[in-house]
Every structure is written in C-alpha cells, then in structure tokens.
Amino acid sequence: MLVIVCYDVNTETREGRRRLRRVAKLCESIGQRVQKSVFECQVDRVRFEMLERDLVAEIDAAQDNLRLYRLAELRGYEVREHGRFRATNFDAPLIL
C-alpha cells in the first residue's frame, strides 16, 4: 500500500528540533521525501503498523501533529503531480 506521512513538529525548543530530526530520519528510512515534511512510503500492513508505532513514540502529542494516509491498492489511487517533482519511480527500471 502507498502511505503518505505528513508531520508538523514544534521546533521552538531544542528538544523539538531533535524530535523533528528523529521523525524525518524514520521517514527517510522507509520512504521518499516529496515535500519538506511529507513522505510517500510503499509498505505492507506490518511495516505500516511498525512505522506508525515508531512515529507516535517520537512525537509529542501535546505539541506536534502526525497524519498517515493509507491508500490501499485494491481501491486504486491516483497521484496528480504539478511542478517540479524529484521522486524516484520504483516501479520503473532503476539504472545505477
């Protein structure tokens, strides 16, 4: 399934900036950044649940916002892109 992860971490404190870096690193390890705090992740159900658990453990629910959108392939999904887009198409052949 395709998962869109969006977050807004309060960075007014040193701890907030550390949370932001940890959340970004978690997302980078699983998906690809499409905007500063938006990631696309291609995962199965188990990996999705692990990602959600890990991200919830990192944020401060009183100050931060985390949103995960699951787009199941069975229902089909459509992504419309406008403007400059630098993401990798993992369904196409990868040339190294």
- Calpha distance 62→71 (Å, rounded): 27
Q: What's the pLDDT at 37?
A: 94
Reported as a single tens digit per residue, the pLDDT across 59-83 is 999 999 999 998 877 666 666 665 6
Nearest to 68 by CA among 23, 10, 25: 23
Reported as a single tens digit per residue, the pLDDT across 12-53 is 999 999 999 999 999 999 999 999 999 999 999 999 999 999
pLDDT higher than 90, residue 91? no
Rg of the chain over CA atoms, in angstroms? 14
- Calpha distance 12→26 (Å, rounded): 21
Is the Cβ–Cβ distance between 65 and 49 less than 8 Å? no
